[in-house]
Structures are given as structure tokens and as C-alpha cells.
Amino acid sequence: MRQQPVLIEEYGSLALLTLVTHRNDRRVNVDIQPALLRERFYPRSRQTVRPARQFAAETLHAWGVTCRHDDVLLCVSELATNALLHGVPPGRGYRLRMLRYEGTVRVEVHDSGSGRPRIAGRDPGAEGGRGLLLVAAVADRWGAVARLPGKAVWCEFAVGPAATVGAGEPGDGL
């Protein structure tokens, strides 16, 4: 795989260089302007996972996305739960972003925690530690990018052509 700088992305007052990864001459993990974007902030509480999943379901419906619905909602639950368990300090929260590109839905969960997410050991007797394993199995692609403060953990799903009606606005729900 080869990487090359592609664009500067504004993130708050910080400009970040985004890298594009090429796999078999096919660009993946590209940060480009989405056709549709909706996002919502949630405080640090386990009770916010259900509303985050509901927001994602409403967003998919508004965008006319009917395939991969359960896969997307499962990954929203797992990424939100991971943010709450590992990335959101007391008094903070996390942001769920839903992005619609041509043929793709991208889910991002931003938190202010440090460190990179990793798939835990596969201990069959463990009560937890399978969230990212599920995300890796269900999503077409997933990863994480450092942000200031914290990080964004994302996953993508191939879903077919983008809808042209019912679009959310940038910053919707804030």
C-alpha cells in the first residue's frame, strides 16, 4: 500500500493533513466532502447509546438507505459504547457523525480520549472486548484517526447510490 497527502481538512482551529491509502490502485479511506452529513452530540451516559442508534436509524431512513441498516446500527452501538467505556472522561461526551458519500455510508464517533482503539484478545470466556471485532467483521472498512482532542473511530458500508431527497444539514441536531 502506498500513501500520499491529499488535502488539508479543517478541524476546529486545527488543520489536519489527510492521507489516502491506495489498495490495488483503488483509493480507500478518503476524506472528501460528503454529499450528506448529520451529526449529534451525546453526554457521557450509557443511556445515550439507544438515542444514538435511533438517530442513526432516522438518518438512514431520511437518506433512503434500506440495505445494511442492521449492520450500521450494530456498529453505531459498538462505537458509542467503546467511546463511553474508553474515550469519554467525566464531564465530556461524544459526537456521532453520519456521512453519506456516493455508494457509501460512513459512521464516525469522536471522543476526547487518548490512545488508539485496538481489537482485544479473543478470550472466549471474557464478558466484553468484542466490540471492535464485531465492527471489523460487519463493516466494509474501519479505522481511527487522531484528533485534537482525542480521536475519531469510523467505519464504512457500501450501500448503493446516494439519495437526493431528505438530506440532513451539516450540524443537524446540535
For residue 94, which of 131, 62, 120, 55 has the smallest C-alpha distance?
55
Locate 95 and state its grid cell.
Answer: 459526537
pLDDT per residue over 71-114, tens digit each? Answer: 999 999 999 999 998 877 788 899 999 999 989 999 999 998 88
Radius of gyration, alpha carbons of the chain: 16
Three-class SS state of 128: coil
**pLDDT tops 80 at residue 121:** no
First-to-last C-alpha distance (Å) of the chain: 38
118 band by pLDDT with thresholds 50, 70 and 90: confident
What predicted TM-score, i.e. pTM, was given to this entire model?
A: 0.71
**pLDDT tops 90 at residue 130:** no
Locate 57 and state its grid cell.
Answer: 436509524
For residues 63 and 115, which has the higher predicted lDDT (pLDDT)? 63
Locate 73 and state its grid cell.
Answer: 446500527
Contact (CB, 8 A) for 33 and 165: no
- Please tell me the distance from the alpha carbon of residue 163 to that of residue 9, in angstroms, as a whole number: 25
For residues 15 and 98, which has the higher predicted lDDT (pLDDT)? 98
pLDDT at residue 71, as a whole number? 97
pLDDT at residue 8, as a whole number? 36
pLDDT at residue 54, as a whole number? 98
List of domains in the chain = 34-160 (3.30.565.10)
